[in-house]
Amino acid sequence: MTDVDENIAIPAPPRRRAYSYLRFSTPEQRRGDSSRRQSDMAQEYARTHGLDLDQHLTFHDEGVSGYRGQNAQSGGLADFRDAVRAGLVPQGSVLLVEQLDRLSRLAPRKAWRLLESIIEEGVSVITLNDGREYTIESIDNDPTDLLLSVLTFVRANDESANKARRLRA
């Protein structure tokens, strides 16, 4: 039988790093509650799930369309993807978004490829509206995650396309 020193501190496992991404489409929405709401949701989720929410490296697209993909091409989401590729955002980290349509409102196939490109880099995407975590493993092992993501992108693109048609009319 071995003696165990009860005074030896066992280090806590490192906490996962989280990064917040918030987006809203029009400059007029700055006057609303979208930015505060999304930010508060990310802070609360990180606090209650033991994540270290990075306060220095944050990604925002305020007044940037997800329908035309500007956020993913040259906006804050593009900056996030660049930070992941550069190693500034380590693998195993999470990207917190209010819901998937904040990432993209592109055509569903393109929106899905955007989500896939993030999770293939080893970064999970967590949707704050339902707490779902999208990873390569969840997509491969649970067809529900794949279907929900695609259906969310279909709905988001359809909503944006309808808004665009109404504005043109």
The catalytic site residues sit at 25
At 33, is the secondary structure helix, strand, or coil?
coil
Phi-psi region of 87 (alpha: psi -120 to 50; beta: other; left: phi over 0): left
Tokens of 157: 């693109």
Number of alpha helices (DSSP H) and beta strands (DSSP E) in the chain: 6, 6
Q: In a 3-state reduction of DSSP, which class is residue 8?
A: coil
Q: Which residues of the chain form beta strands (DSSP E)?
A: 17-24, 52-53, 59-62, 94-97, 124-127, 132-134
Q: Are 106 and 69 in contact (CB under 8 A)?
A: yes
